[in-house]
């Protein structure tokens, strides 16, 4: 993905959250000079991958297949004594019609909450022992109600609704075309997106960046390059 595209995507997402009156923390707006001047007292942001995360899953077609994430809080698999939080919280911004490819998590349990905007369509399967699709019925919780559906079924989350997904449950979602952008929130167990995603076909989780312009904002994958604590 081009850096110019990433800059525009974050700008767009910030504008939408402001319109929806979902304020973000100060570090969501940090520019490069701000990141380069942070101190040891903000190490948690860097160590726990807080902040912006944008991906097109290696497609080169972000508007069709992609996701914009802002991580507010997270624990740490490798540094549990330093960061004992067993939970994470994220903004997951889905553009009108945008698709998140099929994947599951080996460790993470997550609640996906539609906070406003359009309608989210989720297609779900259990995974089998070879990490393929299983034909068995899938049991999930929708707003605290246990729901059992056939493999490959589609569920629809209107604004205000939520679903709980367990480890090993394949899910793909799409913002229903024409229903508008969607502000999703995720509440989950501690998460590390570098190691806890099993994608069915997607090429990559984290983007390779073409630095065609200077970074206006940093993604969490930029921290090692630009921040020295």
- For the chain, the structural domain boundaries read 3-226
Instruction: Provide block-wise average pLDDT over 10 residues at a time, the chain (229 residues).
Output: 98 96 96 94 97 96 97 96 97 98 96 97 97 97 97 98 98 98 97 91 90 97 93
Q: Is 164 strand, coil or helix?
A: strand
pLDDT digits (tens, 9 = 90+) for 162-210: 999 999 999 999 999 999 999 999 999 999 988 999 999 888 899 999 9
Q: Which H, E and C letters describe 76-134, residue by residue? A: CCCCCCCCCCCEEEEEEEECCCCEEEEEECCCCCEEEEEEEECCEEEEEEEECCCCCEE
Fold of 3-226: Jelly Rolls (2.60.120)
| C-alpha count within 13 angstroms, C-beta hemisphere, residue 17 | 21
Q: Which residues of 78-101 are buried (b: 16+ CB within 10 A; e: fewer)?
A: eeeeebeeeebbbbbbbbbbbbbb
Q: Give the separation between CA 126 and CA 135, rounded to whole angstroms.
A: 7
Which of 158, 154, 155 lies closest to 116, judged by CA? 158
State residue 203's pLDDT score. Answer: 81
% of the chain with per-residue pLDDT over 70: 100
State residue 110's pLDDT score. Answer: 98
Q: How far is CA 16 from CA 3, 74, 113, 182, in A?
A: 20, 23, 17, 10
């Amino acid at each position: 993905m081009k850096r110019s595209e990433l800059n525009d995507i974050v700008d767009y997402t910030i504008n939408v959250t402001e319109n929806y009156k979902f304020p973000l923390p100060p570090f969501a707006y940090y520019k490069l000079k701000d990141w380069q001047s942070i101190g040891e007292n903000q190490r948690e942001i860097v160590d726990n991958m807080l902040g912006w995360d944008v991906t097109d899953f290696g497609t080169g077609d972000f508007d069709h297949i992609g996701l914009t994430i802002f991580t507010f809080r997270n624990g740490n698999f490798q540094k549990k004594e330093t960061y004992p939080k067993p939970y994470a919280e994220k903004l997951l911004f889905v553009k009108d019609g945008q698709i998140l490819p099929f994947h599951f998590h080996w460790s993470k349990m997550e609640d996906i909450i539609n906070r406003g905007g359009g309608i989210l369509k989720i297609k779900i399967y259990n995974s089998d022992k070879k990490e393929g699709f299983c034909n068995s019925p899938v049991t999930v919780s929708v707003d605290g109600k246990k729901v059992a559906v056939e493999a490959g079924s589609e569920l629809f989350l209107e604004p205000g609704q939520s679903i709980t997904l367990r480890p090993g449950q394949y899910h793909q979602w799409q913002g229903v075309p024409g229903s508008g952008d969607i502000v999703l929130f995720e509440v989950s167990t501690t998460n590390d997106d570098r190691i806890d995603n099993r994608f069915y076909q997607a090429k990559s989780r984290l983007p390779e960046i073409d630095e065609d312009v200077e970074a206006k904002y940093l993604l969490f994958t930029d921290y090692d390059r630009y921040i020295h604590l």
